Structure 1
Amino acid sequence: MKISLFYEFALPRPWVPDDERVLFQDGLDEVEAADKAGFSTVWLTEHHFLEEYCHSTAPEMFLAAASQRTENIRLGFGVMHLPPGINHPARVAERVSTLDLISNGRVEFGTGESSSVGELGGFNIDPADKRGQWEEALEVAVRCMTEEPFTGFQGEHIQLPPRNVIPKPAQAPHPPVWVACTRPSSVQMAAQKCLGALSFAYTGPGPLAERVNGYYKEFEEKGVPVTPQVNPNLLAIGGDLSMMVAPTDEQAIQRLGVGGGFFSFGIMHYYMTGEHVPGRTGVWERYLEEVDKDPTLAYGPGRGAIGSPDTAREFLRSYEESGVDEIILLLNPRSHEASMESIELLGKHVLPEFIERDEKAVEAKRKRLEPVIEKVEARRPASTAPVFDETYSFGGLPTGRGGKFTASEIPEAMAEINEGRVQAARLAKEQGE
Structure 2
Amino acid sequence: MQFGLFCSPKADAAGFGPETGQGFKDYLDFNIEAEALGLCSSFSVEHHFSGWNQASATLMLLLALAMRTKTLRVGTAVLVLPWHNPVLLAEQAATLDLLSDGRFDFGIGKGYRHSEFKGFAMPREEADARFEEGLDVLTRAFTTRERFSHHGRFWHFDDIVVEPPPMQTPHPPFWVAAGHPQSIRNAAARGFNLILDQYASPAVLGERIAVYRAEREARGLSFAPGQVAVARQLYVARDKADKEAALEKQRQYTQRTITSARPPDGKTGSHVLAYADKAGATEENAMFGTPDEIAGMLEALRAAGVTYILLTISGGADQLRRFAREIMPAFADAPAARAAE
TM-score by length of 1: 0.66
Cα distance change, pair 164–262 in 1 and its aligned pair in 2 (3 A): farther
User: 1:307 — aligned with what?
Assistant: 289
Note the 1:209-224 alignment, pairs <5 A.
Answer: 209-222=206-219
Match of 2:324 among 333, 347, 355: 347
Q: Distance in 2 between matches of 1:348 and 1:59?
A: 29
Q: Distance in 1 between matches of 2:137 and 2:66?
A: 26
Q: Distance in 2 between matches of 1:134 and 1:297?
A: 29
1:120 lines up with 2:131 in the alignment: no
Q: Distance in 1 between matches of 2:50 and 2:18?
A: 19
Q: Distance in 1 between matches of 2:189 and 2:116?
A: 27
Give 3-state SS (helix, strand or coil) of 1:152's partner.
strand
What do residues 229-256 of structure 1 show as CA deviations (whole Å, max 9, x unaligned)?
A: x998222222xxx41125x345852773
1:356 lines up with 2:338 in the alignment: no
User: 2:152 — aligned with what?
Assistant: 155
What do residues 120-166 of structure 1 show as CA deviations (whole Å, max 9, x unaligned)?
A: 12222222221121111112112212211342222222222232211
Deviation at 1:205, TM superposition (A): 0.7
Give 3-state SS (helix, strand or coil) of 1:243's partner.
strand
User: 1:316 — aligned with what?
Assistant: 298
Q: Which residue identity does 1:116 align to in structure 2?
A: R
Deviation at 1:20, TM superposition (A): 6.2
Give 3-state SS (helix, strand or coil) of 2:43's partner.
strand
Cα distance change, pair 150–7 in 1 and its aligned pair in 2 (3 A): farther
Cα distance change, pair 116–223 in 1 and its aligned pair in 2 (3 A): farther
Note the 1:7-156 alignment, pairs <5 A.
Answer: 7-9=7-9, 17-18=17-18, 21-52=21-52, 55-83=54-82, 86-156=83-153
User: 2:229 — aligned with what?
Assistant: 235
| Alpha-carbon contact 1:108-1:176 (below 8 Å) kept | yes
| Alpha-carbon contact 2:199-2:282 (below 8 Å) kept | no
| Alpha-carbon contact 1:191-1:232 (below 8 Å) kept | no
Deviation at 1:23, TM superposition (A): 1.6
1:330 lines up with 2:312 in the alignment: yes
Identity %: 26
| Alpha-carbon contact 1:268-1:274 (below 8 Å) kept | no
Give 3-state SS (helix, strand or coil) of 1:315's partner.
helix
Q: Distance in 1 between matches of 2:282 and 2:146?
A: 52
The RMSD of aligned alpha carbons is 3.3
Note the 1:203-214 alignment, pairs <5 A.
Answer: 203-214=200-211
Larger gyration radius, structure 1 or structure 2: 1
Q: Distance in 2 between matches of 1:123 and 1:28?
A: 29
Cα distance change, pair 20–258 in 1 and its aligned pair in 2 (3 A): farther
Note the 1:333-412 alignment, pairs <5 A.
Answer: 338-356=315-333
Give 3-state SS (helix, strand or coil) of 2:36's partner.
helix
| Alpha-carbon contact 2:6-2:43 (below 8 Å) kept | yes
Q: Distance in 1 between matches of 2:216 and 2:247?
A: 41
Q: Distance in 1 between matches of 2:14 and 2:334?
A: 44
Deviation at 1:215, TM superposition (A): 1.1
For structure 2, which runs of at least 5 residues remain unmatched after alignment? 266-275, 337-341
Cα distance change, pair 184–263 in 1 and its aligned pair in 2 (3 A): farther
- The number of equivalent residue pairs is 323
